[in-house]
Structure 1
Amino acid sequence: MVDHAISINDLHVSYHGNEAVKGISLSVDAGNLVGIIGPNGAGKSTFLKAMLNLIPRDKGEVKVLGKSIKDVRKNIAYVPQRNDIDWDFPITVIDAVLLGTYPHLKPFRRPKKQEKAWALQCLERVGMQDFSKRQIGELSGGQQQRVFLARALAQQADLFFLDEPFVGVDVSSEETIVNILKELCQQGKTVIVVHHDLSKANDYFHQLILLNKELVGFGPVKDVFKPEIIERAYKGQFAFMNEMGVSL
């Protein structure tokens, strides 16, 4: 039996000789919705990508479901930041979602009727079934993010990693996405989300990873989302957050 969904030990990452993530160690149990928060430049996206082996690590070990990333890749779904995606690429909504079925197909096999039916179910779950023939670049930001969540759902993964999924999306899309992420956790899935809006932390997450290059806090939201802990990460930005009405 696997003790933790994710285990990280002494993770370090550098860019051009500058350390972006320093010595992070933590473990996440299955079924949790975890927010990665911290000020701009804190290394949130870097940390997420390093966990997934998408960028090189200086040192450190990451285990997912007790194994290395490469051994469980098909069990991991990743939704990148919207600005990392080429929205001019000539692909329709349904074909984008079908990409999520490929990890479970045999070599050289293309999606067939069964996979297309499943992809449509995933689109229906995010409320985008009526847009299946559209080119993804024709959609609004919120619609695009729903489509990429549908692609992740189509993968039938055990772990979901989302990098800033709520940037540039409308309120309705954000609510849809959050509700689906909560449903996934109720099914025993583990969800990790890079997030910047502290005002939503209490409502959205079970646990928080608070970063400022180093690990400032980790645990249940009520234990991390405290003024003295948030101030250590945000420093000079703390007074500004109070003025903006962020409730701690």
Structure 2
Amino acid sequence: MEEITVIFHGTNGWYTSKTGYTTCITIDTPDCFIILDAGEGFTKIPDVYLCIKKPALLFFSHFHLDHISGLHTLARCRFEGGLSIYGPPGVQILSGFIGYPYTVPIDELTYPVTITELPEGRSDLCIPVQTAFLVHTQPVFGYRFEFSKTIAFCTDTGPCEGILTLGAGADLLITECAYLPGQENPGWPHLNPEVAVRLATEAGADQLALVHFAADLYTTLDQRLSIRNIGPQFSDVIIGTDDMVIRL
């Protein structure tokens, strides 16, 4: 069985700070190269992967700036197998963002780029993908990818059924931890660590990784790591930090 490599290029929420870049995660599989969101962490990809020859697929959860700002470095990337961009309803707005006056337009890049809106539910791309709506201030998709291992990605969301659906029995559930322990705000839905662990347990996920730590709340990496002190149920939780590598 060939290895799957997950890299957390950006683990901050809202803005880049000394604790990390904004959200971007890559999943390198034998058949394709998957990118989850394109915050400032996206700018690191050309330095880690000098040339990507297999098909590259970029999946957006939603279109807040901290999840799309890295797109201005598409011209640095070498996606020789092309780049296919997918997202929830409204993803076509990116065709205007990737262009003048903001950045190099799609038709001037050195590789082909397509933008496709995904439906809710299952899509068979070069790998099977399942989407579900999450709960946030605008429409947000969570994703479930089925390789030799199953990986779910659910960020910018409050507690919802979509996390349980996508994370069910997953080998790795990557979800957010924008809020501090005990913090809640139903008017701006996000997760705190206790709720994230509860949802992962209910979903039956084998591993839980936390990312998207709000930069104004988690101001040091030690503050993130202190989550382990909440209780024994947090001992196996992966506390995401920039440039962390997970192999499955």
TM-score tier by shorter-chain length is 0.3 to 0.5
**Bigger Rg, which one:** 1
Ranked by relative contact order (alpha carbons within 8 Å, sequence separation 6 or more), the top structure is 1
Structure with the higher helix share, 1 or 2? 1
> Counting strand residues as a fraction of each chain, which structure ranks higher?
2
